[in-house]
A and B are shown apart, each in its own frame.
Chain A
Amino acid sequence: MISKIISHEWLQWRRDSRLKWLAIFLVVISAFALWHQINFQSTLLKKRLKAQEDSRQEWLSQELKHPHMAAHFGNYAYKKPTLLHCFDPGLTIYTGTSVYMEPHKQNDFLFSQSQESDTGIRFGWLSPAMICQLILPLLIILLSFNSINGEYEKGTMALLISQGANFRSVLIAKTASVFLFFEGFITLYLLVTAYCSAVYLGTVIDIYAVLYIWIVYSLYCFIWSLSGVLVSSLIKSSGTSIALLLLLWMFTNIILPRGSANIAENMHPLITNQQFKQLLTASIDKGIDGHDPKNERAKKIEKELLLQYKVDSVQQLPFNFEGFIMQQSEAYSSKVYDHHFNQLFTTLKQQKKIQSLFGIISPYISLRNISMAAANASLETEIDFQQQAEHYRRSFVQNMNNDMKDNSAYGSFKTYRVRKDKYASIGDLQVQNRTMQWSIPTLFIEHISLLLWVLFLMILLFISNQKKVYN
């Protein structure tokens, strides 16, 4: 029964010229979004690899310097593209894909104004994920808004029922016909995107991530298909049902995501770039200046060390006091950065949690968060990238400071030079992209929200009854 109605629906759609145009529109815009993202991401990757290679060459070919001065040459951390970046660039369009690392300073991705980020903001919104998250529900609405009330309007519902169809099986069949149609599209689109990503970006195919994102997008597609059919069964006029469904789309996909962001911002306000820098400067000023071993706090450490090593001057210490102070200075600034960045990240996570809770009334919000996480472009993965870069920065700077402390003499800042092989011994940061298993625990609310939506709609489906319509 259900399969007969499904094939009947599809036959009708094939004959409908308006739907043919809609299908052409969907294919064209989807292909363009995929082409745009592949082009954008592969260009970015090429630039990134070139910059990485150039900066490595510059690092290796720089003249022999004092280790701390060499550390000031700096280094870049580059994000590695994942298989699903072409599908969903997520937050990377706002945060950029690189961060500069230098001594004494933790540069952050949040306030970065890199050119790539600017380009991303202008064009990055057009992605396959955006097509599936925003455009697809609209097309589902167009195919489902009159799926049931249209049958009443045509007088065919009575015929369907009298010929032996059960009202609930009509609802199931109508939902399935819309869902399976778009499910086919999602499946194909995901596979093509993954294949293109693997070919053009050289990313490893992560079957679990693709499977996971396929399941989640399928659930989203199912939620909209069932919503469309149920609204059509509850509202007698197809004109009213399309208006209601469009309002629902606007509310859940446009108003709520922006509204929830504003509410989250009001509840947990984020500090401005200027304020953040002022706070950092104020905190760091209270610490040790690594470049000035004669400042007050350095003097205090000097006294303690002389006492500890039972010597009369810093020259008699078994290590270079200047290098030690440099290390202490880095350790102090690291604490300061940890403190302020943790506060910043906590605020961001609190904001995200508020937004995630809105996913209970907007499946779009839940899907968006899950999709970004699966593509390794969520808030958590961005913070993780920042932390990986910071961890590398600290070990890189401390490595150079250790060289200064252990191998140079006190007062040799202007004369000491690193060994020739020192530069080569320091490798580039190998950013580790997180797996789905790493991200899943951060998506508890999103998973629950989507499942609640499915459950709620399924309950509505099973309590629906055609007798109510005739009564």
Chain B
Amino acid sequence: MTVLKAIQLSKEYNGVAALRNLNLEIRQGEIFCLLGQNGAGKTTTINLFLGFIAASSGSATIHNIDVSANNAATKKLVAYIPEVVQLYGNLSGIENLDFFSRLAGFKYTDHELASFLTRSGLQTDAQVKRLSTYSKGMRQKVAIAIALAKNAAVILMDEPTSGLDPIAVAEFTKICKALSMEGKTIFMATHDIFNAVNMGTNIGIMKQGSLVHQVATNTITANELQQLYLETI
């Protein structure tokens, strides 16, 4: 079943194309990794699916609902993990999660909130500490817990492993795979070629706003993908 779909999706900023005629279909349970240099159009694509910006032409749909036409409905279907996850430093992990869950319309007990954080890999004793004491990896886990608590069908991630240490990346990959097994669809912009191959089911390579290549990870090795990526950009 197609969950995310882009049809001739384009975005221009003051006459400069940031995204050109993107056509894309991502099915349920897929982990789609989008590679490309800075400015290739990865974040623009994510922002269009989130409805943060309006498309210049074409359409983006989530579960066949047009994002620009019914953004309130599509927002309910997606969770978002940004590159910079600072959250609120004065609040604990559990308080941050509680706030964002309430915003999404969910009211959980402390026990339920703790279980989301535990599932995302955050240790129990850290959950009640203020976020200002967290490492980037720990904050990333809170962001994952926010996505879990929202029970969203689609998780959009913008360079989520950027700045994480290898152990944190491994933990993150494990969680994403588990989510994929549960039927969640993950769409991720990343610079990490090896992790994309390791984690993703499909990979797209973007250049100057266009999706140049789209490959299934079971048809390519990490080295081949690196070669293709370097040749493309």
Contacts and interface: CB of A to CB of B under 8 A. Distances in A.
B52 A470 contact: yes
Interface residues on A, range: 20 to 34
Interface in B154-178: 156
B90 interface: yes
Nearest to A160: B103
Is chain B's interface secondary structure helix, strand, loop, or mixed overall?
Answer: mixed
B86 A155 contact: yes
A432 interface: no
Given A11-B95, A156-B88, A471-B13, A161 B53 contact: no
A162 interface: yes
A428 B193 CA distance: 95
A155 B88 CA distance: 10
B154 to A, nearest CB: 11
Is chain A's interface secondary structure helix, strand, loop, or mixed overall?
Answer: helix
A454 B221 CA distance: 62
A154 B87 contact: yes
B75 interface: yes
Nearest to B156: A162
Contacts of A163: 75, 100, 103-104, 146, 150
A275 to B, nearest CB: 63
Contacts of A466: 52
Contacts of B53: 467, 470-471
A27 interface: no
A6 to B, nearest CB: 12
Most B CB within 10 A of own CB, among A162, A165, A466, A470 = A162
Given A8-B99, A164-B103, A156 B87 contact: yes
B60 to A, nearest CB: 14
Contacts, number: 73
A158 interface: yes
A1 B103 contact: yes
A159 B90 contact: no
B46 to A, nearest CB: 10
B86 A164 contact: no
A158 B52 contact: yes
Nearest to B92: A15
A161 B88 contact: no
Nearest to A11: B91
Contact of A155 (B75, B79, B82, B102): B82
A163 B103 CA distance: 6
Interface in A425-471: 466-467, 470-471
Interface residues on B, range: 20 to 34
A194 to B, nearest CB: 36
B47 interface: yes
A164 B84 contact: no
A162 B99 contact: no
B187 interface: no
Contacts of A156: 86-88
A159 B52 CA distance: 11
Contacts of A162: 50, 75, 78-80, 156
A16 interface: yes
A158 B83 CA distance: 11
B13 A12 contact: no
Contacts of A4: 99, 102-103
B86 A154 contact: yes
Contacts of A160: 100, 103
A164 B146 contact: no
B52 A467 contact: yes
A161 B50 contact: yes
Nearest to A1: B103
Contacts of A165: 103
A437 B91 CA distance: 50
B119 interface: no
A352 B150 CA distance: 59
Given A4-B102, A155-B82, A156-B86, A164 B52 contact: no
Contacts of A8: 88, 99
B85 interface: yes
A249 to B, nearest CB: 26
A5 B99 CA distance: 8
Contacts of A164: 72, 75-76, 103-105
Contact of A159 (B54, B72, B146): B146
A8 B87 CA distance: 12
A219 B143 CA distance: 39
Given A164-B103, A164-B104, A467-B53, A159 B88 contact: no
For the complex of A and B, list the 10 residue pairs with the smallest distance between their C-beta atoms, beginning with the closest: A162-B80, A155-B84, A15-B90, A163-B103, A154-B86, A163-B104, A470-B52, A155-B82, A470-B53, A12-B90
15 contacts: A1-B103, A4-B99, A11-B95, A12-B90, A15-B90, A15-B91, A16-B90, A154-B88, A155-B83, A159-B100, A163-B75, A163-B146, A164-B75, A164-B103, A470-B52
Interface of B: 13, 47, 50, 52-54, 72, 75-76, 78-80, 82-88, 90-91, 95, 99-100, 102-105, 130, 143, 146, 150, 156
